[in-house]
Structure 1
Amino acid sequence: MHQQSKTEFHKPSLLMAVLPILLTIVLVMIQLFVYQDGSPHIPLAIGALITSVFGYFRGYAWKDMQEGMLNVIHTALPAIFILYVIGMIIGTWIAAGTVPYMVYYGLQVLSPGYFLAAACIICSVVSLCTGTSWGTTGTMGLALMGIGEGLGVPAHMTAGAVVSGAFFGDKMSPLSDTTNFAPAVVGTDLYTHIKNMMPVTVPAMLIALVAYTYVGFDFAGGEINQEALNVIVVTLQQEFSLGVWLLIPAVAVMYLALSKKPALPGLFAGAVLGGIAAMLFQGDSLHDVFNTMLNGYRSDTGVAAVDSLLSKGGLMSMNWSVTLIIAALAFGGVLEKTRCLETILETILKFATSNTRLLLSSLASALGVHIATGENYLAQSLPGRMFAPAYRGRGLHVSNLSRTMEDAGTLSAPLIPWSSGAVFVAATLGVATLSYLPWAIACWASLLIDVVWAVTGWFVPKATEDDIDLWAEQEADVLVGDELMTGSEYRNDIQTSSV
């Protein structure tokens, strides 16, 4: 078959753009709901193949589509490295006694009545300070799961509260990669982006805390299974040498994050410190530490609640998540390379004839890309690039778009079963995505509040003259009706019309 040069490629029709996505979604749904198998790896890999076949018959060479896959996978390599390091952190912090000490101490001071609200607040503070929802979930979140089990709080509720707090903090932290990525894509600055997220994020968190407090009343009147709780406490005392000094690895990681040190070396330092603490305080050998970093910690106390909580971590434990991320990224990469996503987004953009429609369309598009590909970076970057000129053309501040991208990317990540965020949470906390989803209140409430502000027009700031000057300086694209112009041309038109 004749292979076209890159300059001859045309966008596919809407049917040809949507069909490979629909076929892939059908395969994923069959795997998840018909076969009751939570591993969508193969359906996504087949989806990448289906899309490649469609691209081949449109004239794309395999090397071009492979390039598209590899380019997208390359952008996620830092996140994959961080995921592996977090696996090592989980293993060494358990071996060191850091996580067991958090569980032990938490069982002494927390009560069932306010546990869910406290878990949400604790995770939000840690995530806000460190900028990583994954790191918070894998350390503090894991400890809170053990505390919740000891207090008799259902695991899916605890997981939901952990997710709400961890991903809230990630979204609002200036140290988070996604919080820096979203404004960079649309062309605004970090702190304007964070400020404009407040009208969505603060109400969502308040709703979550009220709900967790209300639900806590049901547990406050109940009796704690003191015997089971005592078994956990005594077992932890017997298995580990416990003390406040075991928090040194956690304090070090938070210090490095607050000092704005790069995430990967900072987290790896936490894993190494955990290994050192395991040797100094728990009597592990260097070989034990290496094995824990690779394969995780294996608890054999004979107490099921303790063993299921502590038998986690290790670099190898992240392979399930990493392979799923790679499959999803490959699928998303070939969709982008063959211009399928571009066709879909441009079609949606034609219906965005008002501010409300534009806001809702960008939110729906970002969610659609996230659901189709399972990749939050694509959910932010593709709609962000496509919709930014339209926001400028309607005189809206582009931070409205970056806020939408953040909600559809960061906060929806733990809600989509095949998204990397949900995969990590489910594997780490041991709770299925669809089980904790209703209790991840701050995440889905933010999306609903986005819809409310889009419909009412509240908290949707307009572009200022300074913003328009910035567009002219950046020569940013501005879409006015069907006409695409540069920022300087747009400013000149405004100045001319105002004379």
Structure 2
Amino acid sequence: MKPVKPKVSFAESLGILLILLAILGFLIIGQKLSPHIPILFVFMLLLFYGKWKGFSWDEIHAGITAGITPGIVPIIIFLLIGVLVATWILSGTIPTIMVYGFKIISVKFFLPTVFVVCSLVGVTVGSSFTTISTMGIAFLGIGHILGFNNAMTAGAVVSGAFLGNNISPLSDTTNLAAGIGEVNLFEHIMNMMWTVIPAFVLSIIGYIFLGHQSVSADLNTVDAMVNTLQNGFWISPVTLIPVGILFLFAWKKVPAIPTLLVGSTAATLLAFVHNPSLNLQKVSSTLMSGYIATTGDKSIDTLLSRGGIESMLSSASLIILALALGGLLIKFEIIATLIDKIRDYVDNPAKLVGLTALSSIMVNVLVGEQYLSIILPGETFKSSFDRLKIDKKYLTRTIADAGAAVNSIIPWGVSGTFIMGTLKVSALAYLPYAFFPLLCPIITIILGLQLKHKQVHQK
């Protein structure tokens, strides 16, 4: 006799999801635990729930494997990003871009300049946290001297850092969003421009309006940082060759893994050209543990002591745990049961994009974890995008705009907590001035309406 397949009702599925989110929210937000252990805990609860419902261990293991499999390539990409960042600092590529960025500082247009420079550094470094903890602190000090409200400066810093993070090929959340939707990384980034460019333009206009005042100040702080970079690193247009390779490969639509490998190799060769005394042991240590800057300037050393495979292991392990959790939710048909219930409502692209965006926002609000705000809605609505025959690049754009970016303005979220602790400005204070994270999900939902019109037109 064929065994009866375990069934999960809609009420049970909804109850399980709410309980899991409540536990994650309590442990991550309330108890301020690192998300790894709370996710592992709810994974354990869900695993034994499945066994209690009648799933075999083989079925449970198959669910875990199926959940983790889509994350294998993104995890490899994460590790290669660590290598790339380390080599780009070693070769002087990232310091050179920083110097050129500093040189566009404008006193008259301070807030727009902060936004643009943080965007450039964010794209280059691929880390909003690093940008905020270095450029953010520097700009906050300069802005204070110029007489700008700290909340305004913090808002411009956050907007720029997360804009850069959202479109950087080095960003873990950018790679994660592309990986969840199984979309080519550079195709995802190019599609992001439909929301990023309008949000960028509107943000620039907003910061010009806020900061359009004639003030004069001594920018010796910036000059000192530029001099430190010039004395400590090879600052030359030659070091931008790896950046050119990155853009060339993007134009040629070369996948991320070979692009990152070639970019890292080119940077390593440049490092040997500039410093012939460099040995393999030093390079190997840098690739593994990251570059350690010793310029004597604490802020510069903090910014440029990073990269390496080890720096990405924490993110990689979190992704594995979250994907394993998602795999069980799918295997036990908890996600499928919820989707089936709302299938009649989600009958067009506009509703699907809107619901996906709202789901990412709600995960941010309930849990405060940016990875989960990408993974859970991404895994939940992926099949719906297939059913409606919508290119999944619109899924990846939606979860990136409403996931990672929005996390920065949630006071109890991981990003919001980090920003408040680093800049010493309340999230509620800088929230009205964080134009980019506020605009992105709105523009995404509006563009979802255009998808509806396109579908009708094609019919």
TM score, norm. by length of structure 2: 0.76
1:218-266 deviation digits (Å, cap 9, x = unpaired):
7x6362441x333322322322232221112222222222222221111
The one-letter code of the counterpart of 2:251 is: L
Which one of the candidate residues 114, 117, 126 is aligned to 1:138? 126
The match for 1:107 is: 102
Q: Tell me if the contact between 1:100 and 1:236 (Cα under 8 Å) persists in the aligned partners.
A: yes
Q: 1:143 to 1:240 in 2, by over 3 A?
A: farther
Which one of the candidate residues 407, 412, 417 is aligned to 2:403? 412
Q: 1:276 to 1:412 in 2, by over 3 A?
A: same
Q: Tell me if the contact between 2:128 and 2:164 (Cα under 8 Å) persists in the aligned partners.
A: no
Are 1:379 and 2:377 an aligned pair? yes
Residue 112 of structure 1 deviates from its aligned partner by 5.0
Q: Tell me if the contact between 2:83 and 2:290 (Cα under 8 Å) persists in the aligned partners.
A: yes
Q: Tell me if the contact between 1:161 and 1:439 (Cα under 8 Å) persists in the aligned partners.
A: no
1:302 match: secondary structure: coil
Aligned equivalents of 1:216 and 1:4: distance in 2? 71
Aligned equivalents of 2:22 and 2:328: distance in 1? 18
The match for 1:158 is: 157
Q: 1:412 to 1:215 in 2, by over 3 A?
A: farther
The match for 1:43 is: 38
Q: 1:439 to 1:29 in 2, by over 3 A?
A: farther
Q: 1:46 to 1:181 in 2, by over 3 A?
A: closer
The match for 1:291 is: 285
- Across the aligned residues of Structure 1 and Structure 2, the Cα RMSD in angstroms comes to 4.4
Greater relative contact order, per chain length (Cα 8 Å cut-off, separation 6+): 2
Aligned equivalents of 1:207 and 1:10: distance in 2? 51
Aligned equivalents of 1:355 and 1:251: distance in 2? 37
Q: Tell me if the contact between 2:382 and 2:395 (Cα under 8 Å) persists in the aligned partners.
A: no
Which one of the candidate residues 463, 470, 495 is aligned to 2:455? 463
Unpaired runs of 5+ in structure 2? 144-152
Q: Tell me if the contact between 1:119 and 1:144 (Cα under 8 Å) persists in the aligned partners.
A: no
Percentage of pairs with the same residue: 23
Q: Tell me if the contact between 2:67 and 2:323 (Cα under 8 Å) persists in the aligned partners.
A: yes
The match for 1:489 is: none
The one-letter code of the counterpart of 1:412 is: G
Q: 1:463 to 1:305 in 2, by over 3 A?
A: closer
The match for 2:148 is: none
Q: 1:329 to 1:354 in 2, by over 3 A?
A: closer
Which one of the candidate residues 11, 15, 22 is aligned to 1:19? 15
The one-letter code of the counterpart of 2:100 is: Y
Q: How does 1:268-287 map to 2 (within 5 A)?
A: 268-282=261-275, 283-287=277-281
Residue 86 of structure 1 deviates from its aligned partner by 0.9
The match for 1:329 is: 323
The one-letter code of the counterpart of 1:56 is: K
Which one of the candidate residues 202, 210, 232 is aligned to 1:207? 202
Q: Tell me if the contact between 1:113 and 1:213 (Cα under 8 Å) persists in the aligned partners.
A: no
1:448-492 deviation digits (Å, cap 9, x = unpaired):
2455677xx67731535865xxxxxxxxxxxxxxxxxxxxxxxxx
Q: How does 1:352-391 map to 2 (within 5 A)?
A: 360-365=354-359, 374=372, 376=374, 379-386=377-384, 389=387
Q: Tell me if the contact between 2:94 and 2:124 (Cα under 8 Å) persists in the aligned partners.
A: no
Q: Tell me if the contact between 1:117 and 1:212 (Cα under 8 Å) persists in the aligned partners.
A: yes
Aligned equivalents of 2:435 and 2:296: distance in 1? 35
1:94-113 deviation digits (Å, cap 9, x = unpaired):
12111122222322233255
Q: How does 1:99-498 map to 2 (within 5 A)?
A: 99-114=94-109, 117=112, 136-138=124-126, 149-151=137-139, 152=142, 157-167=156-166, 198=194, 203-217=198-212, 221=215, 223-226=217-220, 228-282=221-275, 283-351=277-345, 360-365=354-359, 374=372, 376=374, 379-386=377-384, 389=387, 398=390, 403=394, 406-409=397-400, 411-416=402-407, 441-451=435-445, 460-461=452-453, 463=455
Unpaired runs of 5+ in structure 1? 128-132, 393-397, 468-499
Residue 304 of structure 1 deviates from its aligned partner by 1.2
